[in-house]
Structure formats: C-alpha cells, structure tokens
Amino acid sequence: MSKPVLEVRGAHKRFGAVHALKGVGFVARRGEVLALLGDNGAGKSTLIKCVSGVHGLDEGDILIEGEKVAIRTPAAARSAGIETVYQDLALFDNLTPAENFYCGRELSFPRWLPRGLRLLASRKMNHEAAAVIDRLKVKLPKFDAQVALMSGGQRQAIAVARAAVFARKVVILDEPTAALGLRESRKVLNLIVQLRDEGNAVILITHNMEHVVELADRAVVLRQGHKVGEIEKPNRSNQQDLVAMIVGAE
C-alpha cells in the first residue's frame, strides 16, 4: 500500500463553545478517492478547511508525505500541493473566469507593467483557462464575462477546473455536485476520475451515496465532530452500514 500523501492526526477545532472536531484523523493516498461523509454539522467542511489553511487546528498535526507541515494560510496549502473546491465556492463575482483562475497566483502581473504587456499576459490567462474549461466540456456563454452572470453549474465548473489545473498532490472537493443537474454532475465525476488517474489523492465530500459507491476507494464517516468509522471499498452491500454510521443508528 502506498505511503499516504496526506495524513491528519488528532485534529481538534473549536469555534467558541462549539467543539467542531474532536480528535479526528485520516489518511489520503495518491490514486485514490476518499469519501468524507457525515450529516450536516458533522464537521466535514471544518476538517477540510483546516487542511486547506482557512482555519488553523487547535490541536493535531497535518503531514504531507510523512512530514509534519504548518498550513496556516490557503497559500501555504496550495504550495504544499493541496487544491480545494469549497462548498461556498469562493469565486470573485466581479472577475472573469480567467481572473478567478489566477487570482493570487504567480501569473498575476504588476500594475507598472506597460499596458500592451498586461494585455498579452491577460490573453495568455484567458487562453489557458479556456483550455481547461474546455477539457471539462462546459459551455460558457462568454469567457470574459463576469462570474456573477453565470449559472451555478458554470460557476462550479470554473471552481473545479481551477483546482484541476493547479492540483499536484491532493484535491479536495466539498459537495461539488450538490447544486448541479445530472449532466453537470457527470462532468465533475469524470474530472474526479481524471484527477485520481493523474496520481492525485482526491477527497470527496458528498451526500450522494451513488457517487460514493461508484467512485470511492474508501469512506471516512464523521458524526458530531468524531470520526465514527471507516469502510474500504464502499459498495451496494455495505452501503447500509455507511448510512447507519452517518445517522448514528445502531
């Protein structure tokens, strides 16, 4: 079995009186889809936000390829090779898809650059971003339109595509299909397979058990901030065990 590319040990997170994570640990491996399951409020988003540098852990460790790392900002997570598609998306409404792609990244260009050069850099950005969106086979009406004018599916596609472009080790998707129709969901699922086959560890948060059975190599279940179980190779016959763990039935 391959060494975990990502490991979380003993994660605790409190928001005031709310103890959102109570000693959670898990591993994620390259070439594997890990489903992270649990009812609303179980702590799934909090856990991945800690791994992605949005929140800091109160206690616990994050290890990348066996080494403890301090992930205190989203930029630190990205440079550690972790890309995240957040449940609340985090796209900038007033920017175009291309600008959203490269926001806060190397390709951004300084204001003092002559106008012509800025235009060239911006064309390059548009071109690269369009190529990835195209890979996702999502139709955007106008690629240079502001994201605010786009549908939920189109916005989701941009967010997933952005993660796909920059993914190097771990891709985390927090309920990426929750707002999507069947055809749009299928595109996202296809991209998950592609990311996995490219050697990333994919962490998928979803309430869709069909998707879990279809894609997940392993499933970890959280309930009220605790990790309550883990199942290898979720399938039709152990799906009921997973659902029981999620809702807390004996």
Ligand X SMILES: Nc1ncnc2c1ncn2[C@@H]1O[C@H](COP(=O)(O)OP(=O)(O)O)[C@@H](O)[C@H]1O
Interacting residues with Mg ion (CB under 5 A): 45, 87
3-state secondary structure 109-153: CCCCCCHHHHHHHHHHHHHHHHHHHHHCCCCCCCCCCCHHHCCHH
46 sits near ligand X (criterion: CB under 6 A)? yes
38 sits near ligand X (criterion: CB under 6 A)? yes
Q: Give the separation between CA 47 and CA 36, rounded to whole angstroms.
A: 10
Residue found under tokens 């972790």: 82
Binding partner at 185 among ligand X, Mg ion, none, C-beta below 5 to 8 Å by kind: none
For β-strands 67-69 and 226-232, DSSP reports them as unpaired
Among 30, 44, 155, 196, binds ligand X (CB under 6 A): 44
Binding partner at 97 among Mg ion, ligand X, none, C-beta below 5 to 8 Å by kind: none
84 sits near ligand X (criterion: CB under 6 A)? no
Binding partner at 53 among Mg ion, ligand X, none, C-beta below 5 to 8 Å by kind: none
Of 21 and 163, the one with the shorter C-beta distance to ligand X is: 21
Contact 159, 87 (CB under 8 A): no
Q: What is the DSSP letter of 95?
A: S
97 sits near ligand X (criterion: CB under 6 A)? no
**Residues near ligand X, by CB under 6 A:** 15, 18, 20, 38, 40-46
